[in-house]
């Protein structure tokens, strides 16, 4: 399945949900509304696209925009030798999006990393807690509003 045919299939299956489309070489990029993410990702995992591999989940902080955060998902179809990048914009206040841990097992840890570094909540995540920073750490170190030279003493959670 080529990029153009996949775009057509997605636009027919999810009318009005695909916002931005970009094709760069063999990479296809799609911008979606956050509400459409679980259904579109489930669709992409199934045949004929067969995006069985979730390569990565990350976040970008665009603090100057109203939609301050952008979630970025990379999915690979080994059967079709095709990659797709899905982007979802989230608000700066209380950013949240549906968890994909039920679709891909590795989404569990990838979402926890984004939560730990950016503070994005993943609705329906089975165990959303910090994995890189200690439990008493205040703030999210990869956000642009986190002070560059801020130092925190480690606090004992039992104290």
For the chain (159 residues), the mean pLDDT of every run of 10, in chain order, is 78 88 83 95 92 96 80 94 92 94 97 97 96 88 84 66
* Superfamily, domain 3-100: NADH:ubiquinone oxidoreductase Nqo5 subunit (3.30.460.80)
State the pLDDT at residue 74. 97
Domain boundaries, the chain: 3-100
Q: What are phi and psi of 85, to 5 degrees?
A: -115, 125
C-alpha distances (whole Å) from 123 to each of 6, 39, 49, 96, 97 are 28, 14, 26, 7, 6
- Find out whether 159 and 134 touch, Cβ atoms under 8 Å: no
pTM of the shown model: 0.90
């Amino acid at each position: 399945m080529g990029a153009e045919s996949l775009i057509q299939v997605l636009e027919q299956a999810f009318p009005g949900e695909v916002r931005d489309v970009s094709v760069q070489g063999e990479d296809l990029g799609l911008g979606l509304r956050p509400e459409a993410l679980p259904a579109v990702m489930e669709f992409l995992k199934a045949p004929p696209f067969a995006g069985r591999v979730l390569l990565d989940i990350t976040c970008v902080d665009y603090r100057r925009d109203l939609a301050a955060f952008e979630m970025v998902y990379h999915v690979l179809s080994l059967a079709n030798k095709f990659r797709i990048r899905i982007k979802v914009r989230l608000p700066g206040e209380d950013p949240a999006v549906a968890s994909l841990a039920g679709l891909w097992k590795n989404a569990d840890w990838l979402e926890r990393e984004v939560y730990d570094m950016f503070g994005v909540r993943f609705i329906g995540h089975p165990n959303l807690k910090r994995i890189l920073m200690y439990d008493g750490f205040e703030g999210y170190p990869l956000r642009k509003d986190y002070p560059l030279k801020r130092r925190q003493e480690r606090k004992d959670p039992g104290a």
